[in-house]
């Protein structure tokens, strides 16, 4: 039986949207659904408990996604193990497709669905940013930024050894080689982007900070100042030039993308210098409506 672990911190506005999609098309007892309410000060636990025996609820006073994931693992009953952010939308059929991708034959140990980003209500700079972001090779091929990662038992053993990291989905994606991970075209997750420029920048500052932490950990693990040949999902100028050559009309969007990256990098410097890898800059605009 697949176990679906949902870490949730103050997600009373979004959790029902996810659980409705997961459970409406599921057969009785098909999934082991576990919501881990971590550090919640709202009605998240009550929302989850309202689904009765179809959803198990675990609570911890510690507002930590990493600890919530580990607590979820301690209570989960089966594999594949599917980790789902509480603010995305995923259906039962999508879970089945992810499970099938991990059943083999083949070397796939980790899988994620295709992402759908509804841009309605987003400001034009946000739309321009994601017009570029969604075309980047690392974004198309990586498992991060989707809010859902499914693991086989063998895959789970690999990520269980990872240290606590802010960029948990990026670290998990990079832990598997291209042949070991798959973006499943038959599965889809709805990920709601930020609606405003300030909220986008908050997300990007968080991403820049968490990437810096991951790269520091990679350097320490490799024992080399430069990090050796550690895998990365950073966007290089070559990636942007290739996009522009393929579609010159992307130039205005590329300017917005680069501007956001520079502003976020500058905003992340203070946290990186202070080694503050715990402050979670949360985008509330994507949780509205």
78-99 in b/e form (b: 16+ CB < 10 A) is: ebbbbbbbbbbbbbbebbbbbb
Of the candidate ranges 100-114, 205-219, 240-254, the one whose mean pLDDT is the lowest: 205-219
For residue range 187-204, list pLDDT tens digits in order. Answer: 999 999 999 999 999 999
The token pair at 225 is 């100042």
**Residue 227: pLDDT above 50?**
no
Predicted confidence at residue 282, as pLDDT, reads: 67
Any long-range contacts for 128-135 (C-beta under 8 Å, 24+ apart)?
A: 128/252, 128/253, 128/256, 128/257, 129/200, 129/253, 129/256, 129/257, 129/260, 130/193, 131/250, 131/253, 132/240, 132/243, 132/250, 132/253, 132/254, 132/256, 132/257, 133/257, 135/243, 135/250
Whether residue 261 contacts residue 234, with contact meaning beta carbons closer than 8 Å, is answered with no
Angle, vertex CA 265, rays to CA 262 and CA 271, nearest 5: 160
pLDDT exceeds 80 at position 111: yes
Pairwise CA distance, residues 283 & 147, whole Å = 14
More confident residue, 226 or 288: 288
Q: Span 3-119+140-190: which CATH code?
A: 3.90.550.10
Position 175 scores a pLDDT of 86
Domain ranges of the chain: 3-119+140-190, 197-287
Residues 137-189 pLDDT 10s: 999 999 999 999 999 999 998 888 776 665 677 888 888 999 999 999 999 99
The region, left, alpha or beta by phi > 0 then psi within -120 to 50, assigned to residue 121 is: left
Looking only at the bridges linking them, the beta strands covering 148-151 and 55-60 are unpaired
Residue 67 has pLDDT above 60, yes or no: yes
Q: In what order do the strands lie in the sheet with 32-38?
A: 55-60, 32-38, 3-8, 81-84, 148-151, 110-116, 181-190, 89-90
- In tens, the pLDDT along 16-45 reads 999 999 999 899 989 999 999 999 999 999
Q: For the stretch 22-50, what's the b/e string if a residue is b when 16 or more beta carbons lie within 10 angstroms of its beta carbon?
A: bbeebeeebbbbbbbbbbbeebbbebbee
């Amino acid at each position: 039986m697949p176990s679906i672990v949902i870490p949730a911190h103050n997600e009373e506005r979004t959790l029902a949207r996810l659980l409705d999609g997961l459970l409406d098309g599921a057969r009785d007892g098909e999934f082991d659904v576990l919501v881990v309410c971590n550090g919640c000060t709202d009605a998240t636990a009550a929302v989850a408990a309202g689904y009765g025996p179809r959803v198990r609820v675990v609570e911890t006073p510690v507002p930590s996604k990493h600890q919530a994931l580990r607590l979820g693992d301690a209570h989960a009953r089966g594999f594949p193990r599917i980790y789902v952010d509480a603010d995305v939308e995923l259906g039962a059929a999508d879970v089945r497709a992810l499970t099938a991708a991990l059943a083999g034959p083949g070397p796939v140990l980790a899988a994620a669905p295709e992402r759908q980003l509804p841009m309605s209500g987003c400001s034009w700079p946000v739309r321009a940013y994601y017009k570029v972001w969604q075309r980047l090779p690392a974004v198309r091929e990586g498992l991060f930024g989707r809010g859902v990662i499914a693991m086989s038992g063998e895959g789970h053993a690999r990520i269980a050894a990872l240290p606590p990291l802010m960029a948990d989905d990026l670290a998990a994606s990079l832990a598997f080689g291209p042949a070991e991970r798959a973006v499943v075209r038959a599965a889809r997750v709805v990920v709601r982007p930020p609606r405003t420029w300030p909220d986008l920048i908050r997300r990007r500052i968080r991403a820049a900070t968490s990437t810096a932490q991951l790269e520091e950990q990679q350097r320490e693990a490799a024992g080399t100042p430069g990090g050796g040949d550690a895998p990365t999902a950073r966007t290089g100028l070559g990636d942007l030039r290739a996009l522009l050559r393929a579609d010159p009309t992307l130039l205005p969007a590329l300017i917005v993308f680069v501007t956001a990256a520079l502003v976020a990098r500058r905003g992340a410097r203070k946290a990186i210098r202070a080694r503050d890898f715990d402050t979670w800059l949360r985008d509330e605009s994507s949780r509205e409506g």
